A and B are shown apart, each in its own frame.
Chain A
Amino acid sequence: DAKTTQPNSMESNEEEPVHLPCNHSTISGTDYIHWYRQLPSQGPEYVIHGLTSNVNNRMASLAIAEDRKSSTLILHRATLRDAAVYYCILRVHSGAGSYQLTFGKGTKLSVIP
């Protein structure tokens, strides 16, 4: 399985942008890049996903490198509610392969008021 590498932890000041990096140098052509987050004492929550192009939704933006070997999740204005563990996950969506989420270590984001 293709693996991802993320920093163990990051800090951000409230209302400032946050850039969470993820390296996935062994990504295959059929892997989508997913981001989930897990707030304390809750189940994981979908944030965003992409394949090749940058993506935006109401929660965040996803910037994908041209060679797809790395990506960055961007929270435009961090709030205290964004304090969570953020997981970068590679996943296929069709054809042969497993559809489960394989969680790595993730990045624990702390937001400072």
Chain B
Amino acid sequence: AAGVIQSPRHLIKEKRETATLKCYPIPRHDTVYWYQQGPGQDPQFLISFYEKMQSDKGSIPDRFSAQQFSDYHSELNMSSLELGDSALYFCASSPGQGAYEQYFGPGTRLTVT
């Protein structure tokens, strides 16, 4: 069965650079969630989209922005990167906001040097 695809899987950036993470949800899933997991930490919700509109916002820094496109894929844009942004970034998708299950991708590991 198709799963959530995230690209790239690994990304190394320097401080103050920008990064773009991509998420391709499972076909026919219209809801996307972004989570950040720092080293040794638990996943923290960043932002979500339903039918291409932002539906909820968590602890996402102002330096970050995201959107969901007409084909339902989503991109997380991160600017002025800081060392503390080094983390695993997970995308999850679901068929509707209230769906019982969220299906997670393998994550993108971002390292800021």
Contact = CB atoms under 8 A, between A and B. Distances in A.
Interface string A42-62: 111110010000000000000
A104 B44 CA distance: 9
A45 B103 CA distance: 7
A102 B105 contact: no
Contacts of B100: 32, 34, 46, 49, 93
B45 A101 contact: yes
Contact of A99 (B35, B98, B104): B98
A100 B33 contact: yes
Interface in A7-53: 32, 34, 38, 42-46, 49
Contacts of B99: 93
B5 to A, nearest CB: 12
A99 B55 contact: yes
A93 B97 CA distance: 8
Name the prevailing secondary structure of the A interface residues. Answer: loop
Contacts of A98: 56
Contacts of A49: 100-101
Interface residues of B, number: 25
A88 to B, nearest CB: 12
Interface string B27-58: 00001010100000011110010000001101
Contacts of A94: 98
B43 A44 contact: yes
A90 B44 CA distance: 15
A87 B90 contact: no
B62 to A, nearest CB: 19
Given A44-B90, A87-B42, A105-B42, A100 B58 contact: yes
Interface of A: 32, 34, 38, 42-46, 49, 85, 87, 92-94, 98-106
5 contacts: A42-B106, A93-B98, A93-B99, A101-B45, A103-B44
